[in-house]
Structure 1
Amino acid sequence: MMPGLTVLMPVYNAERFLREAIDSILQQTYKDFDFLLIDDGSTDSSVTIIQSYQDPRIRFYQNEKNLGISATLNKGIELAETDYIARMDADDVSYPDRLEKQLHYLQTNPDCAMVSSFARIIDEGGQFVRQDRMKSEHFYYNLTFICWIYHPTVMYRKDSVKEVGMYTATYSEDFELFWQLSRRYRIHTLPATLLDYRETSQSLHQVLKKEEYEQAQQAQVLRNLRYYAGNSYTIPISFIECYRHNFQPLLAEKKLNRIVACVKELDYITQSILNTANPNLERAPVKLASYYKRRYIISYLTNQLPLLQKLMLLYQLETFESLIKQLKVTLKRFVYR
């Protein structure tokens, strides 16, 4: 009988955390899976560690040379013999019921192409860093600007992923795939923490290839915006970075009118999203997600401005009640100094 799903794990010089990652999959409550491990030219003891396991569910392949993450994942998708594929990274830890819960969701929701989960962020020593919990209904709106989905938390349908071309980007490959899936199929995030995501000094997107990933994500965000606002749509890079919650480029311009224009442009983008048909579009959640994003941006930027500019910004962007509230807070701080 064919297994119910494939767990796909690319491996590259992962000896430090590899055994813990492998064990977390082999100890799942759901047992009926192929565990597809592909080594991408490791020069450490990763291969020896993998070969020390005798579990019959493990299928091990080695690339003749280093192909990179996207090509290795695409190879794994082609090798997978099941309808469902769960992604896993060689330095993370899946919780015991992860596969069971995600497979159940996909099987009972045939219109959904990909399901993810919350993640608990840990450091290299396994110590708690933070807990990320973003509501599933807010993911669609925010995926326009930021990849909120942790790659090793996802399980997807093989046919759907192949339909959108699999992994097509050299950098920020997960953001690209999730976006392409979200244009054609419904995606969902389970409101449960099912994985420990490890931040390490060898992280490609945070350390080793940070600049390349940043540039790729800027281009992806602009492409995403054009999906909603038209192929000729363009905005300054400082606006894109602000929507990605990197506020320094916009603040460095030291122009209040640019901040106002940036926030008003976000309002236009939100309306464009609401006007574009999509299998993930639900109007009320999009409006709520946009409200939270707008409030967060305004709150952060006003806190970086001198008092007079702060009040001028609120006057141009907020309601009269918000302005009065800010004035009261400011006066209280002045009186009690």
Structure 2
Amino acid sequence: MPVYNAQKFLRAAMESILQQTLHDFEFLIIDDGSTDDSLAIIQSFADPRIRLYQNEQNLGISATLNKGIELATAPLIARMDADDISYPDRLQRQVDYLQKNPACAMVSSLVKVVDEQGRFLRQDVFKSEYFYYNLTFICWIYHPTVLYRKAAVQSVSGYTAPYAEDFELFWQLSRKYPIHNLPQVLLDYRVTSQSLHQVLRKAEYASAQQEQILRNIQYYTGPDCVVPSTYIECYQHNFLPLLQKREVQEMVRCLRMLDDLTKQILLKDNPNRNVEAIQKAAVYKKRYIVDSLLPHLAWTQSIYLLLSVFSLKDLVKFCRAKRIEAKRKDTQPEQFPAPHLTPELSLA
């Protein structure tokens, strides 16, 4: 657990680890030069499992995490943030999974996303078999949920990026080892005003992710592949830049490039490669993108888009899925976060 000026939520985060049903672990905490009462809070705990280290100066998240990996004496390392809450059986479930699946290098879990007061915001429902395909475009894995093998992380040189460091590590691990996400919610993930990737360093993280996604795509297509930034944003489910171009043909080209990329992903050998899962994940992703673009198009543009990116068979399946989804929404609340769109923007 790296700690930097985390006094507001630190005690609850520490207690959630110390109260785990799995008792045999070392609790490495590295204070990265906090100037608030974080250090005093940590020192107020008398649990012998706690190992506290202090950086002489603020090193930043990646260097601090790498230091923790080096200091860890156990072969399995669980990540935790100083403002989140791990459920009591989190560590036991994850250790059990890795023990039963020795080839797997990292296991994560689902989360409930909460605000600073702990109020429920959303729960993303992501199937583990779709992670490999989607990790090309989006970091679906919540960093403080992961438990990984120390040797595997060291084999890919640990955290190597100053921003979006978790996305980079997960990508590198998934190139060499199987990864898995448990279907249970095992952590409350807190969104706060101090969140690095969403508030304090939002621009830096966004830029790093753009570079990483382009690199990920070129891993499959080759280094000469040129991908417009608007396409990358679209593949991340930020549709506003593509919509602002007001060109339906550009949307068609974006989706066709996604189809071509899916073919390349299917051909690339990988320990997480599952043809059926990749195909299903690609179908869902394409449908989600089209479904998000359609409300902002005139009906003639919508028809053009649909006929340009779907075969007749796939179009029938898309329309059938839309009807099923409409019926589900009548009885169930929305489970996924809304796309990044402004309601007043329309090509109509």
TM-score range, shorter chain: over 0.9
Partner AA of 1:291 in structure 2: V
Q: 2 CA distance for matches of 1:180 and 1:51?
A: 36
What is the CA distance between 1:158 and its match in structure 2? 0.2
Deviations 1:44-81 (A, max 9, x none): 00000000000000000000000000000000000000
Q: Distance in 1 between matches of 2:317 and 2:59?
A: 58
1:245-272 Cα distance to aligned partner (Å, 9 max, x none): 0111111111111100000000000000
Partner of 1:34: 26
Q: Which residue of 2 aligns with 1:332?
A: none
| 1:7-58: CA deviation from partner (whole Å, max 9, x where unpaired) | xx00000000000000000000000000000000101000000000000000
In the alignment, the residues of structure 2 paired with residue 161 and residue 233 of structure 1 have an alpha-carbon distance, to the nearest angstrom, of 29
- Look up the match of 1:73: 65
Q: Among the aligned pairs, what percent are the same residue?
A: 60
Cα contact 1:314–1:323 (8 A) shared by 2: no
Number of equivalent positions: 319
Tell me the CA shift for residue 324 of structure 1: 11
Q: Which is further off, 61-70 or 311-320?
A: 311-320
Give the Cα–Cα distance (whole angstroms) in 2 for the partners of residues 252 and 176 of structure 1: 29
Check whether the contact 1:274–1:283 (CA below 8 A) recurs between aligned residues. yes
Q: CA deviation at 1:310?
A: 1.1
Check conservation: 2:2, 2:82, Cα contact below 8 A: yes
Further displaced range: 211-220 or 310-319 = 310-319
The CA RMSD over aligned residues, in Å, is 1.3
Question: 1:315, 1:286 → 2: CA distance?
Answer: 23
**8 Å contact from structure 1 (residues 28, 99) kept in 2:** yes
Cα distance in 2 for partners of 1:283, 1:325 equals 21
Which TM-score applies when normalising by structure 1? 0.93
Within 5 Å, which residues of 2 pair with 1:6-17? Answer: 9-17=1-9
Contact residue 22 and residue 92 of structure 2 kept, 8 A: yes
Mapping of residues 108-257 of structure 1, within 5 Å: 108-257=100-249
1:319 positional shift: 3.6
- 1:268 matches 2:260: yes
Map 1:98-117 → 2, pairs under 5 A: 98-117=90-109
Q: Distance in 2 between matches of 1:325 and 1:271?
A: 20
How many angstroms apart in 1 are the aligned matches of 2:10 and 2:316?
Answer: 53
CA distance in 1, matches of 2:293, 2:304: 12
Cα offset, 1:320, TM superposition: 3.7
Cα pair 1:242 1:297 within 8 Å, conserved: yes
Structure with the larger strand share? 1
**Structure 1 residue 132: Cα displacement:** 1.7
Give the match for residue 3 of structure 1. Answer: none
Q: Write the distance in 1 (CA, Å) between the matches of 2:269 and 2:312.
A: 34
Runs in 1 of length 4+ with deviation above 2 angstroms?
A: 318-326
- Structure 1 residues 319 and 13: alpha-carbon distance in aligned structure 2, compared to 1, 3 A threshold: same
The aligned amino acid for 1:81 is T
Is there any run of 5+ residues in structure 1 with no aligned partner, and where?
Answer: 1-8, 330-337
Aligned equivalents of 1:92, 1:210: Cα separation in 2: 19
1:97 paired with 2:89, answer: yes
